Structures are given as structure tokens and as C-alpha cells.
Amino acid sequence: MRTKLFTPAQVGPITLANRIVIAPMCQYSAKDGCMTDWHQMHLGQLALSGAGLLTIEATAVKPEGRITYADVGLYSDACEQAMRRVLESVRRWSDMPIAIQLGHAGRKASTEVPWKGSAHLPVDHANGWRTEAPSAMGFHDSDAAPMALDREGLARVRDAFVDASRRSVRLGLDAIQLHSAHGYLLHQFLSPLSNRRDDEYGGSLENRMRFPLEVFEAVRAVVPANVAVSIRVSGTDWAPNGWDVEQTVEYARALEARGCNAIHVSSGGLTPTQQIPVGPGYQVPLARAVKAAVKMPVVAVGLISDFEHAESVLVAGDADFIALARAMLYNPRWPWHAAAHFGARVKAPSQYLRSQPARFRGLFDLRADD
């Protein structure tokens, strides 16, 4: 009997060979927003993994929207050209569908790269800049206060998402995911802990959802029907009086009504006071709640690295896809090993077919490169 993990599935207009999604993972290896040779190696190896979808890391729609000075952007011709070079190289050897995650870090921008501490960098630092957010509240009390976006600022951010989406379409990407999770700008609008506005973009749930939904509508309006548009959300802030799963469900319904093709349910990242009960599958209940409320595909993520665990989430109907991030960095052949475990078949490049272990004679799909 074929496993659920290795059955094909649809995400809007695109068909994925299986239910394994490579989640976006920041590499902090760009130069002035432009991809480098590191991205070619990183994405290239993941594109040979046999997964159903590869997602490019969080890509800033404005220079000010980068998490760090070393983040990838898609806000200039130079950024677009650099990404095109990487994609052309990857596609030469893999036909795996490729998505991109577009985002804006808001008040969590202007930080040091993780391996140097991730500290907030002030405006007068060589690699720092003035951040922007729904309200003039830093992520940490010690952070420089961001500039609260006025009506013109909101329009600039919305237009930047639209411009980056048009660039994504020109690059021939199969799907666009808007980053509305992990405490970044769109999530900052959603959560009452970071949104203290007293205009039509703050206060009630309807008002707090207004700007993220405006961004989604603007993007969906310029992206052709053959390109999927999805969203990544934090199902909860894991903090009292913050964003929670009930509000996430309402947000998901509103997005689906506007043509969203899939929703990737993560959590946290909004406040340093969060208390997360980390453990295998700790975010699956959030995905389950969203799946019960919408018809669009739901992606579960978060310490689902065991093959049987991944399969069980799908069989239980808690999600339609399983996303892997750190597990793929540690083991870029995770889909191969999962397929071997279940006796399924997986795509591999012709150059690697000889690596098929004798005990897994039917592992590789020999028709892959016909």
C-alpha cells in the first residue's frame, strides 16, 4: 500500500510529486541582497533531494525589510539578476517545483547574523538601519524604537510586496509564499502585543488583519493563475493576550476567501516572553485546528523529523503536507531515506542512480530522466 507521504498532491495550479516540502531557511550569505555561490550550492543540493517542493529562504521586499544585512532580497534588478543566475543553474539539473517566501522583518530587522549573536544593530552601526513596524515598539526593550508606518509607509510596503511578486513571476517561480509568521512585519500587524495602533489597522481582529489581507489581495491580483500564492502563519504567540489559534482560524478563512492556495502553520517569534512547549510535533495541533476550518491545503511543520511521525500526521488528517527545515540541512537526503523506509519510490538524478542500495532495489524512479 502506498504511503500518504509519497502520494502526489495539488497546491492550486501546481502538482507536487509527494507531500514533503522543504521549508524556507535563511542562510545569511547574501551580498547587498544578492544571492551568492553559497545559495547555488545550498539550493542545488536540496533540489536533488527528492522532495515535492523547494522553498527559497525569506526574501526581503525592501532593503529595510531584511532580518540582517546578509539576507536575500528581491527589491532591485541586481537582486533579480543574481537570483536568476542561481535558479538557472539549479533548474539545469532539477525540475523540482520552486517557491519563494517573500517577507519584511519589520521591527525584527537590522540584526547581526546568528553566528555572531543576532543582536539588534542601531542606526549608526555600519550594518544597521532604522526599522519600521505597526507601532513604535522594539522587539526587545533595549532595541531602538522602530518608525511606526503611516499611510504612505503602508502603501510603500504593500507596493514592495507587489513588485517582488512580479519579479518572482518573471523568474518563473512556481509559487509565492507571503511570510506572515515568526514575529515579522505582517505578523506584527496581526498580534495585539505588537500592534497598538488606534486607526483602522489596529484594535479589533478585523482591523489587525486589514493590512496583511490588503498585501495578500494586492499580490494575488498581479500573480497569474498558474502560480500558486500561499501564506505562512504563526498559529499562536505562545504568550498571554497575544495572537492565538482562534484568531489564526479566522485569518485563514479570510485568506482562503481571497484565493489563497495553501497555508503553512508555524508558531511563535513575536515576543521574547514566549513560552513554547517544544517537542516533536508541538505545532501539529495548530495545523489540525486550521485544517478543520478551511479547504485549502495545510502544511504542518516543527520537529517532525521521524518518518513514521510524518506519515502519521498525514494519515490522521491533521495536515496535507509535512515541511522540514533543520532536518533537511542535517540530512539533505531525508526524502530518499523516508522512501526507502516505506518501500516507496523517489526521484534521483541519473548521476546518483548507482548509489541505490542493493536492499532497496525499487527505491529510485528510473523514469525520472527519460
Q: Per residue in 297-332, pLDDT tens? A: 999 999 999 999 999 999 999 999 999 999 999 999
State the pLDDT at residue 298: 98
State the pLDDT at residue 274: 96
What residues are labeled active site?
184
State the pLDDT at residue 182: 98
State the pLDDT at residue 365: 77
- Confidence category of residue 1, pLDDT binned at 50, 70, 90: low
State the pLDDT at residue 132: 98
Q: What span, in angstroms and rounded, lies between the C-alpha atoms of 6 and 364?
A: 13
Residue 369, pLDDT above cutoff 90 = no
Report long-range pairs for 361-367 (Cβ below 8 Å, ≥24 apart): 363/336, 363/339
Q: What span, in angstroms and rounded, lies between the C-alpha atoms of 40 and 135?
A: 37
The average pLDDT across 187-208 equals 98
- Confidence category of residue 370, pLDDT binned at 50, 70, 90: very low
Residue 368, pLDDT above cutoff 60 = no
Q: What is the mean pLDDT of the chain?
A: 96
The torsion of the CA quartet 289, 258, 133, 33, rounded to 10 degrees, works out to 100
